[in-house]
Chains A and B, each alone.
Chain A
Amino acid sequence: MQRIFQIDGEETDCWLGHDGSRFVLNTPTGAVACQLDPTGLPGGYTLRAKGVVRELRLVVGPEATFVHMDGRTYEVGRVDPAERLAGSDGGASDDRLVAPMPGVVVSVAVKPGDAVEEGQPLLVIESMKLETTLTAPRDGVVAEMPFAEGDSFGLKDILAQLAPEEE
C-alpha cells in the first residue's frame, strides 16, 4: 500500500508490503525490512530497521506522526495519495501570496487590475504583533485582493492573487 511521507518539507513516495514474515518498506532508494514493537512506556516502541535498533516514543496525529528518537523530535507528515490528486489546483505558486501565519490586514495598497512590479508593496499585514509588508513576487497584474483593511485571515489563506502570466 502506498503512502507519501513528508520530512523537513521533502516528500517521499513509499510502499509498505509484507513478505510473509516481516514488513518491508519500499522507498525510492531501496527496500527496508522493519519491525515496530511496543515497550512499556506511553507511546514507547522499539524500532528495528536497516540493521539498527532504536528506542523511540511516538504519537499519531491527524496529519503527521510525531517521533522522538535519539534526543530529537521529528514530524513525519502523512499524505494520502488519493487526497493529493483531489487537492491540486494547477495554479502557479508565484501567482499567489499565501498567509505565512494567521493575522489581520493593516492596509491594502493595490486593487484588482493594477499593474505591479516585482517587489512593489501589495498589502501590510500584522501577525504575531509585528507588521510585515508583503510585496509582489513578480511583475504582473493584480487579479484579486480577497481581504480588506481590518479583515482577519488564517494560515495559508490567499492574500493576493496575480493574473496568470502570459507566455
Chain B
Amino acid sequence: MTISKLLVANRGEIAARVLRTAKARGLATAVLRHATEQEGPAHLIADEVVTIDGPTPVAAYLDISQIVAAATKIGADAVHPGYGFLSENAAFVAALEEAGVTFVGPTSQTIDLMGDKVRARAFVEERGFPVAPSAIEDDDPASFVERARAVGYPLLIKPSAGGGGKGMRVVREDSTLETEIETARREGERYFGDGRLFVERYIERPRHIEVQVMGDGQGNVVHFWERECSIQRRFQKIIEETPSPALTPEQRDEICETAAGIARAVKYRGAGTVEFIYAQDGAFYFLEMNTRLQVEHPVTELVTGFDLVAEQLRVAAGKGLSAVQADIPQTGHSIELRICAEDATADFRPAIGDIRLLDEPQGEGVRVDSGILDGGKVTTDFDPMLSKLIVHGPDRAQAIARARNAVQNYVILGVTTNTGYLDAILAHPDFASGDVSTGFLAEQSETLTAPGEDVSDLLMAAAALSDARLVSDVMQIPEMYRKMGGWRN
C-alpha cells in the first residue's frame, strides 16, 4: 500500500509540522480550515485547504462525518490526526476505515483500550507492569468511597474517560473526599460524557517521565527513549526535555523497556507514548498511554535524529519500522518550551490580541514549530499554545543556555505570552540542578513571577515617546509652556 495524498485533520503548529514532512516525502497534502479561522503557517504549506464549518471552530474539528467526507471528496488516501481533536477517537478511525481511508495511527481497538484509563490500567497490571495503588469505582460502586479511603491520602481522583488533567482533583483530607468526588464526577460527565471515576495514591513530589514508542502493528516495537515533562502548570506540560536528568542509565533502560513491553503487549501500531509517574525513591508506575504523536515529540527527534512523522507515515503505509533498537541513539540534550498566549502572573489566564510583531529566534540547535503568522489574531477559539521552541545542545547545561538565549530573543508583541516566565523557569537553580517535580511551578510561583530589575522609567519613556498622539500634543504646546514642563499643572 502506498499513501499518495494526505489530509491533516488538525490545525496550528502540528498541522504545519506534519505537512512539512509529508511534502518533503513527495505526498500531495491538504489541511482543514474553519471559515472564521485566521490564516496560519499550515495553510501556506498545504497544496490544498479544505474549509469546514460548525457551530464553533472546535466543533468543526471534532465533526467526524464532515472530515471523513472531506477526505473522500479530495481523494486523500490517508488522514493524519495530529494531537488533540479526533486523534484518539476510535469512532473516527472506524469511520475512516469504512470509507477506505488510512488512519495514520493505531487501530480503533487500541485507542478504545488505552482511552479508558480503568481498562488500560487493568490491562497493564495484569501483564505484570507497575501501577500505583488505586480504587476503581466500577469494580463495586457501593463501596467506592470506602475503597478510596483505603488507598490513603493524599490521593488523586480522576475521571475514567479523562485526559489532560481535566476533572482531576487532589484530596489531602478525608473531610473533603466526598465533595471532591462529586465535583470530579460532574466534570467527567461534562467533558467526557462519562462520570465514572477512579482514585489512586497521589505520589508526593513525583516526576512525569514518558517514553516514545513506535510499533509496526505486528508486535515489533522500538522505543525512542524517554522525555521528562515535570514542568507543568494546571496539570499541563510547558517545558519538556530529554534525557531526563533524574534517571541513571540502568533506570533509563528499565523504564524504556517497560514502555516498549506495554506497547508490544497490544501489538501497537504507529507512534505512541507511555507515561509514567516517577517517585523520588526511583519507583515508577504506569500512568497512561497516549495513542498519538505528542506535542513534545520534537525533543525526541533532536536527540535521536529520527523524523517521527516520517516513521508514522511509513508504518501507516505498511512498510514497517525503519530501525532496530540498537540504531536509535540518544545524543546530546534537547529542551522544548511551549510558547503560550497567557498571563503567568494572573493564574495563566489566556490572553487574546493581535500579533503586531513576530520575530522568531534562529541559529544553531534552534527549531521553532510555529502555528502563528505575523499580523495574526489570537482568539480564545483554540488552545493558547502559539508555538514551540525546541533547542538541542551537546549537554544539558548547554541546552539550557541555548534555550534561554533563544526564548529571550523570541519577539512576539501585541499579545501577552509566557516567554519571560519560561526564561525564569530555565534560570531557576532547582531547574538547573534537575531537582524538580510536577509541583515545581506551583511551589515556586512567587519566585518565578517576581518582577525583575526595575526598568519602569525606561519602559515609560519608550511608551510615551512611541505614543504618536502624546508626542504631537506636546509639540503643539507653545514652546514657552512646553519648557515649563508643568508637572502637577
Closest to B179 in A: A133
How far, in whole Å, are A59 and B485 apart by their CA atoms in the complex?
A: 27
Q: Is the CB of A68 within 8 A of B487?
A: no
Q: Is the CB of B345 within 8 A of A25?
A: no
Number of B positions contacting A (CB below 8 A):
60
Cβ of A34 within 8 Å of any chain B Cβ, yes or no, is yes
Interface on A for B, CB 8 Å cutoff?
A: 1-3, 5, 7-8, 10, 12, 14-20, 23-27, 29, 31-32, 34-36, 41-43, 45, 47, 49-50, 52, 54, 56-61, 65-76, 78, 100-102, 106, 126, 128-131, 155
Partner of A20, one of B346, B460, B479: B479
Partner of A47, one of B356, B411, B462, B470: B462
Interface contacts (Cβ under 8 Å), in number, total: 178
How far, in whole Å, are A34 and B475 apart by their CA atoms in the complex?
A: 15
**Knowing that A17-B486, A25-B460 are A-B contacts, what are 8 other residue pairs whose CB atoms are under 8 Å apart, sorted by A's residue number?**
A23-B465, A34-B461, A36-B465, A36-B466, A65-B463, A71-B409, A101-B350, A106-B186
Evaluate whether A130 and B234 lie within 8 angstroms (CB atoms) in the complex, with A18-B483, A34-B461, A69-B455 already known. Answer: yes
State the Cβ distance, A73 to closest chain B Cβ, in Å.
6
Cβ of B443 within 8 Å of any chain A Cβ, yes or no, is no
State the Cβ distance, B194 to closest chain A Cβ, in Å.
15
Residues of A within 8 A of B257 (CB): none
How far, in whole Å, are A74 and B458 apart by their CA atoms in the complex?
A: 11
Cβ of B53 within 8 Å of any chain A Cβ, yes or no, is no
Cβ of B363 within 8 Å of any chain A Cβ, yes or no, is no
Residues of B within 8 A of A75 (CB): 416
State the Cβ distance, B332 to closest chain A Cβ, in Å.
24
Cβ of B380 within 8 Å of any chain A Cβ, yes or no, is yes
State the Cβ distance, A106 to closest chain B Cβ, in Å.
7
Cβ of B134 within 8 Å of any chain A Cβ, yes or no, is no
Q: Is the CB of B457 within 8 A of A57?
A: no
Q: Is the CB of B186 within 8 A of A14?
A: no
Residues of A within 8 A of B462 (CB): 36, 45, 47, 56, 58, 65, 67, 69, 76
Evaluate whether A43 and B413 lie within 8 angstroms (CB atoms) in the complex, with A15-B486, A57-B359, A131-B187 already known. Answer: yes
Q: Is the CB of B461 within 8 A of A25?
A: yes
Residues of A within 8 A of B463 (CB): 3, 5, 65, 67, 76, 78
